[in-house]
Structure 1
Amino acid sequence: MALTETQIRQLEPDAKTYRCSDGRGLFLEIHPNGSKLWRFKYRFLGKQKRLALGRYPDVGLEGARRKLDEARQVLAGGEDPLAVRKLHKLVASFKAANSFEDVAKDFIEKMIAEERAQVTTDKMVWQLTLLKPIAHRPISEIKPLEILAILKALEKQGKRETARRCREFASRVFRYGVATGRGENDPTTILRGALIAPKVTHHAALLDPQQIGKLLRDIDCYSGSAITRFAMRISPHVMSRPGELRKADWSEFDFEAGVWTIPAERMKMRKSHQVPLSRQVIAYLRELQEVTGPDGYAFPAIHTSRKTMSENTVNNAFRRMGYRKDEITAHGLRTTASTLLNESGHWSADAIERSLAHADANAIRGIYNRGRYWEERVAMHQWWSDHLDELRGQGSAVG
């Protein structure tokens, strides 16, 4: 028999919980403490289930019946009302985390899950701190002027490139917010012409053969850490980016095959990269292994083998050797190799670009070239190491 409001008001608690049915699976559960709770009892895929529909009198009899009708409609559609409710709560909770900081952190976690390079995600965390004034604002309410104020403040500090990168990062966060249902648009799009274009700076590099030879001799005489000295010795030969080398693990080197395989997560283009190892580089690495041991990082920090050397270690060593930052940088050694290899006329531009791990504009052509130029690259790396030895020896012969 269906319940009435009068009956429900007159129900008194008992020593034990008991139920009063309203029909069609709807019942009121009366607890010893006096609570009266609406429940819907149903079966889904052969299993008995219960769905809470609210507390009386917050939800009256008519309200409970409306909720029952909605739940039965979901059930008739072949879905579990309890599972649908949990999903709706999850979505609501997700959408409630709608501040710029919430969305940005979700986006960074997505990048980490996709195994993007750690240096990239670390920079994103840093950029998020620079955007702190909008961090706790709902992402859908942030106006272009708010972002522009932050970026202009960075510009006034002379940080034009930082401002540009922060705008790019914010744009990616806003677009992710739209994609996940928490934002409505990307307010940074209209700011593209509002910032001063950063000056293009090139990494300082030595291009004169005599100066390169002197640098190599100075490296041999470096009196600091042996690990740093080996990093400086190897860098000119392998043409890798500084971060790719200093974070190298011994497991990446195959001395027998003469190959160093850099994993995708450490590469700028997110693709694994193979570097041919010349005889000279293998000899340097074997000597280095006697210092560090055969396992773990090839270039560990001085104070602990559980971390790699700092990103500034090699550049600081160059400064102690008397080289200014506008003369030579660790990254500039790639420019040295690229320039002299191209000027030699012995090697194809594609082979040189492959060794520098530059992206190919044509993806299919890039896959083809990786295999096609391997033998040429092996010969080129050996020639380059031999040439560096010649440059180093020329100065000592004159002296």
Structure 2
Amino acid sequence: MARPTKPLTDTECRNAKPADKDRKLFDGGGLFLLVRPTGSKLWRLKYTRPAGSESLLSFGAYPELSLTAARALRDEARALLTKGIDPQLQRQQDKEAAALAAENSFEAVARAWFAKFMTGKSASHRERTINRLESDIFPWIGKRPVGEIRPQEVLACLRRVEERGAIETAHRVRWSCSKVFRYAIAAGMADSDPADLLTEALTRPSPKAFATITDPIKVGELLRALEALEASLIVRCACRLAPLVFVRPGELRQAEWAEIDLERAEWRIPPSKMKSRVVHVVPLSRQATTILRELAPLTGRGRYVFPGERSNERPMSENTVNAALRRLGYSKDEFTGHGFRKIASTLLNESHLWHRDAIERQLAHGERDEVRAAYNYAEHLPERVEMMQWWADYLDKLKIGADFIAFPPRVA
């Protein structure tokens, strides 16, 4: 009859010294501490496989893995053996399952979707999208298998976003999650899109228009204030050009000289900078080209028309125009840089002189059919050229007379 093995003590494990060859200190039940000549101490389990052959299972190193923890692992392995399961084979299967789960985790799938479908988007849009996922979604469901996530789990994440008052952000995060789930469905990793079911579960955002001014008299006051703005030439030119071209603030501040042809009086904004992802043609009025020619000696040798204060290699800050408006006394509830677009949209439509599609095309409002949009960026261009010059002349008239309201006729 085999003598029972005396269990080890932590003191024995700690004080075990290396010898010229491997030493084995047995604890019972097949568990032993292997002391190597190098001084390392490793936990091993000697056991008989269900098929009858002997094998060894590694648990880890002492003292990182304590005696108590090693005994717990031994007991788990022996419990599997009583069920006819090889613990080594089970460990390999668990490792493979964990690797597969990591590949199919929501975070892994989201990053794959982001790399594949967000490459062509603007840098700011891509940054906002991934930052929202990283801060609002990944910490809670990022490691969950994408095909096992329930609507309630996604909703809990979105509720946290709502609770901090970011109602619109919650809807945008839901949209991103839905795109990830749809990508997972197409890749065979999920069967449904739980985020798609949550549209009605979120608080509806309150409609909020950009602060603007549309009364022609007040527009004239604004233009006179911009003309008298005390700022650098770069900032003054940006503020004076903004109402003439009425592009989006980001498109204005990122304007590059390579995009502008002063001889042809045309600015072509590349698709990468446009919300619609198609090239946008901005006909330049005489007033607009005058402003750009005034600025060219200062910034024309660089990349950006309106470079930042600290570096010519970066465009001006997104807050520059709004900061200038604040200095002029316009609060953010009265007027913002985006308001120049609303002025143009309102007054051009109210003039009843221009085809509505020409106005919409000049505002670069999105074309639902992306293929059609790619070919029709120059649609109504002759009328738009005439309209942009009429618009600049009209703004001049507003600027010189506070009581000027009537729309001048089109030039025959």
Partner residue, 2:294 = 287
Task: State the alpha-carbon separation in 2 of the partners of residues 372 and 313 from structure 1.
Answer: 32
**Cα deviation per residue 1:140-172 (whole Å; 9 max; x = unaligned)?**
222211111121122222211111111001110
Aligned residue identity for 1:215 = L
Q: Deviation of residue 133 (structure 1)?
A: 2.0
| Alignment equivalent of 1:305, drawn from 312, 315, 322 | 312
| Alignment equivalent of 1:274, drawn from 278, 281, 293 | 281
Q: Deviation of residue 178 (structure 1)?
A: 2.2
Q: SS in structure 1 opposite 2:116?
A: helix
Task: State the alpha-carbon separation in 2 of the partners of residues 146 and 384 from structure 1.
Answer: 52
Q: Deviation of residue 210 (structure 1)?
A: 1.5
Task: State the alpha-carbon separation in 2 of the partners of residues 101 and 289 from structure 1.
Answer: 47
Aligned residue identity for 2:170 = A
Q: Deviation of residue 112 (structure 1)?
A: 4.2
Matched, 1:381 2:384: no
| Alignment equivalent of 1:344, drawn from 351, 366, 369 | 351
Partner residue, 1:182 = 189
**Cα deviation per residue 1:181-208 (whole Å; 9 max; x = unaligned)?**
3333211122111111111111111111
Matched, 1:119 2:141: no
Contact 2:281-2:377 within 8 A present in 1 as well: no
Q: Deviation of residue 125 (structure 1)?
A: 1.4
Q: Deviation of residue 290 (structure 1)?
A: 2.1
Matches within 5 A, 1:176-325: 176-325=183-332
**Higher mean Cα deviation, 262-271 or 388-397?**
388-397
- RMSD value, Cα: 2.4
- The gaps in structure 1 that reach 5 residues or longer are 1-56, 59-91
Partner residue, 1:15 = none
- Residue 121 and residue 372 in structure 1: after superposition, are their counterparts in 2 closer, same or farther (change >3 A)? closer
- The gaps in structure 2 that reach 5 residues or longer are 1-53, 56-97, 405-412
Q: Deviation of residue 366 (structure 1)?
A: 5.4
- Residue 363 and residue 209 in structure 1: after superposition, are their counterparts in 2 closer, same or farther (change >3 A)? same
Aligned residue identity for 1:127 = R
- Residue 130 and residue 230 in structure 1: after superposition, are their counterparts in 2 closer, same or farther (change >3 A)? farther
- Residue 262 and residue 208 in structure 1: after superposition, are their counterparts in 2 closer, same or farther (change >3 A)? same
Q: Deviation of residue 358 (structure 1)?
A: 1.1
Aligned residue identity for 2:157 = I
Q: Deviation of residue 227 (structure 1)?
A: 1.6
| Alignment equivalent of 1:149, drawn from 138, 148, 156 | 156
| Alignment equivalent of 2:364, drawn from 357, 369, 372 | 357
Aligned residue identity for 1:117 = S
- Residue 230 and residue 219 in structure 1: after superposition, are their counterparts in 2 closer, same or farther (change >3 A)? same
**Cα deviation per residue 1:234-264 (whole Å; 9 max; x = unaligned)?**
1111121111111111100011111101111
Contact 1:111-1:121 within 8 A present in 2 as well: no
- Residue 396 and residue 285 in structure 1: after superposition, are their counterparts in 2 closer, same or farther (change >3 A)? farther
Partner residue, 2:144 = 137
Q: Under a length normalisation based on structure 1, what TM-score does the superposition of the two structures give?
A: 0.72
Q: SS in structure 2 opposite 1:193?
A: helix
Percent of matched pairs sharing the same residue: 45
Kindly tell me the number of residue pairs found equivalent between the two proteins: 307
Partner residue, 2:104 = 98
**Cα deviation per residue 1:291-326 (whole Å; 9 max; x = unaligned)?**
223330111111111111122221122112110112
Matches within 5 A, 1:23-34: none
- Residue 342 and residue 388 in structure 1: after superposition, are their counterparts in 2 closer, same or farther (change >3 A)? same
